[in-house]
Chains A and B, each alone.
Chain A
Amino acid sequence: MSRAPGTSRPRIHHALTALGSILLLTFLWQLIALEEASPLLPTPIRVLEVLWQELVSGRLPHHLGMTLARLIVSFLISMILGTGIGIILGRTPRLDQFFSTWLVIALNIPALVTIILCYVWFGLDEFAALLAVVINKLPHVIVTIREGARHLRQDLLDIAQVYRFGPFKTLQHVVWPQLFPYIMTAGRTGLALIWKIILVVELLGRSDGMGYQLNLFFQLFDVAGILAYSLAFIVIVQLIEWAILIPLDLKAQRWRR
């Protein structure tokens, strides 16, 4: 009984374990950094100092904000387009057969190639930057959602047809709940992928954002700056997980026993 998930004791246990492991990691870092005593490996405390300075100066909020804005826009576009296309391909085998080679090609183009081509063809602007991110992410969303659409339960679709749900009711009450886990998967992996691609996009052709700033730190060999910005990003991504993704998951799984 005490091992059942969701009871309070194991949860505290988990939190304590996580905290302990982070403390140990920080402690080791501090130890090695003190030993090395080099600006190329700053101590955790030095990184926190830089983080604070960057926060107060407004530079970090500005660049982080730009990157987050690009993240949100490209994420939404690729999720909406990818879900639509994924459903269509999953439900129409003939189209799927025809376009599956396109998908395989799209999945295998290196991210860097699409980014360079977008900049070369459309110029070094915001549109090209977002387009490059969307093109990189879209095929992954399509493939995941297509898998979900292929496995929709026919018995429930039959019920929707017999009781004349119509397209909207069917989508909302029969299709959407079944696709939701796939959409969550696409969303989670998408977030992780997109922000890595955005950094490259910014590094290559933008004059603001995390990628631009990291490039700057790289040229100055400012490792503390690099680590401070990474830390800020890790915190943001975790916050998105805790504040948005986990509650969404729980709400959608309510009906399971």
Chain B
Amino acid sequence: MTALRIQHLKKDHGRGLVIDDLNLTVDSGEFVCLVGPSGCGKTTLLQLIAGLDRHYSGDIEISQRDPKALRIGYASQEPRLLPWRTVRDNLSLALPAGMDPARINALIDTVGLDAVADEFPETLSVGMSRRVSLVRAFAIDPDLLLMDEPLVSLDAPTARRLRSWLLGLWQKRPHTVLFVTHDLREAIEIADRILFLSAAPLKVLADIRVTIERQNRNPEAIEAFSAHLRTCHPNLDALL
């Protein structure tokens, strides 16, 4: 089943095209990484998909399970938590009407946030705030999860820990994910499919399925896959 279909998407900032005739489809439950140079319009693309910016031409279709409301989870490198609400309230507030609030308590226990659940976000470390922001995105059981470099500029061990935690979360309930990163190794480790994007105006340069089994994605396998990409797709050299 198709979760997201984008057709002939064009976006103009007024200073020229940011996105030029973009077409892509994502299947339900698929984890797709978007890899591209910085400033290529990835964040703009996610904002269009999230409905934060309605000024574009073309079609963005997202299939929704709840006929009343589309549910989109959104996590970026800025955690964007409400500083005047506790972690627990930040999570509960995101829940769509009609969803059982008790769900948050259960979730807080399973993802290891119980120690900070009643703290205000300003007391949390950067890694912990991002974790909360990711949990919020998962908590609503989204039709589509948008993640904009949620692990960038964390120290390596924290990023590694958060990445495997995130994968664990996703594997328990495989939501459809669009994950923006500029780290190819990260993309190979977590994605089903990688879309390589051009510099602005944004276009898809290559659409590559990661063929390594998930349990076999160790550093050597990732390195080998990356080397394989380099030889098969010389046009991606700048991105690799």
Interface residues of B in 77-124 (CB under 8 A from A): 78, 80, 82-85, 93-94, 96, 120, 122-123
- The complex places the Cα of A173 from the Cα of B83 at a distance, in Å, of 10
B72 proximal to A (CB < 8 A)? yes
A13 proximal to B (CB < 8 A)? no
Contact A173 B52 (CB under 8 A): no
For residue B69, which residues in chain A have a CB less than 8 angstroms away from its CB?
A: 164
For residue A169, which residues in chain B have a CB less than 8 angstroms away from its CB?
A: 93
A94 proximal to B (CB < 8 A)? no
Which interface class (under 10, 10 to 19, 20 to 34, 35 or more) fits A? 10 to 19
For residue B168, which residues in chain A have a CB less than 8 angstroms away from its CB?
A: none
| Complex: chain A residue closest to B123, CB-CB | A257
Chain B nearest CB from A240 CB (Å) reads 25
Contact A165 B122 (CB under 8 A): no
Interface residues of B in 113-146 (CB under 8 A from A): 120, 122-123, 136, 140
A105 proximal to B (CB < 8 A)? no
A169-B93, A257-B123 as given contacts; A162 in contact with B74, CB under 8 Å: yes
A162-B51, A163-B140, A257-B122 as given contacts; A155 in contact with B82, CB under 8 Å: no
A256 proximal to B (CB < 8 A)? yes
A159 proximal to B (CB < 8 A)? yes
Chain B nearest CB from A180 CB (Å) reads 9
Interface residues of A in 152-205 (CB under 8 A from B): 155-156, 158-159, 161-165, 169, 173-174, 177
| Complex: chain B residue closest to A166, CB-CB | B97
For residue B136, which residues in chain A have a CB less than 8 angstroms away from its CB?
A: 163
- The complex places the Cα of A173 from the Cα of B78 at a distance, in Å, of 19
A121 proximal to B (CB < 8 A)? no
Contact A255 B52 (CB under 8 A): no
Contact B80 A256 (CB under 8 A): no
Contact B93 A255 (CB under 8 A): no
Instruction: Report which of A162, A163, A255 forms a contact with B84, defined as CB distance below 8 A.
Output: A255
Contact A165 B80 (CB under 8 A): no
A163-B140, A256-B122 as given contacts; A173 in contact with B82, CB under 8 Å: yes
B187 proximal to A (CB < 8 A)? no
For residue B71, which residues in chain A have a CB less than 8 angstroms away from its CB?
A: 164
| Complex: chain A residue closest to B68, CB-CB | A164
Contact B52 A161 (CB under 8 A): yes
B50 proximal to A (CB < 8 A)? yes
Interface residues of A in 241-257 (CB under 8 A from B): 252, 254-257
Interface residues of B in 27-50 (CB under 8 A from A): 47, 50
A155-B80, A156-B82, A173-B82 as given contacts; A163 in contact with B122, CB under 8 Å: no
Contact B80 A156 (CB under 8 A): yes
For residue A165, which residues in chain B have a CB less than 8 angstroms away from its CB?
A: 93
Chain B nearest CB from A151 CB (Å) reads 15
For residue B122, which residues in chain A have a CB less than 8 angstroms away from its CB?
A: 255-257
Contact B80 A158 (CB under 8 A): yes
- The complex places the Cα of A169 from the Cα of B82 at a distance, in Å, of 12
For residue B47, which residues in chain A have a CB less than 8 angstroms away from its CB?
A: 158
For residue A161, which residues in chain B have a CB less than 8 angstroms away from its CB?
A: 51-52
Chain B nearest CB from A171 CB (Å) reads 13
For residue B120, which residues in chain A have a CB less than 8 angstroms away from its CB?
A: 254-255, 257
Chain A nearest CB from B233 CB (Å) reads 34
Instruction: Report which of A159, A164, A255 forms a contact with B80, defined as CB distance below 8 A.
Output: A159
For residue A252, which residues in chain B have a CB less than 8 angstroms away from its CB?
A: 84
| Complex: chain B residue closest to A155, CB-CB | B80
Instruction: Report which of B83, B85, B94, B123 forms a contact with A163, defined as CB distance below 8 A.
Output: B94
Chain A nearest CB from B214 CB (Å) reads 29
- The complex places the Cα of A173 from the Cα of B92 at a distance, in Å, of 12
Complex A-B: 5 CB contacts under 8 Å: A159-B74, A159-B80, A163-B74, A163-B94, A255-B122
Instruction: List 4 tightest A-B contacts by C-beta distance, closest first.
Output: A177-B84, A255-B120, A163-B94, A255-B84
Q: Which residues of A are interface residues toward B (Cβ below 8 A)?
A: 155-156, 158-159, 161-165, 169, 173-174, 177, 252, 254-257
Q: Which residues of B are interface residues toward A (Cβ below 8 A)?
A: 47, 50-52, 69, 71-72, 74, 78, 80, 82-85, 93-94, 96, 120, 122-123, 136, 140
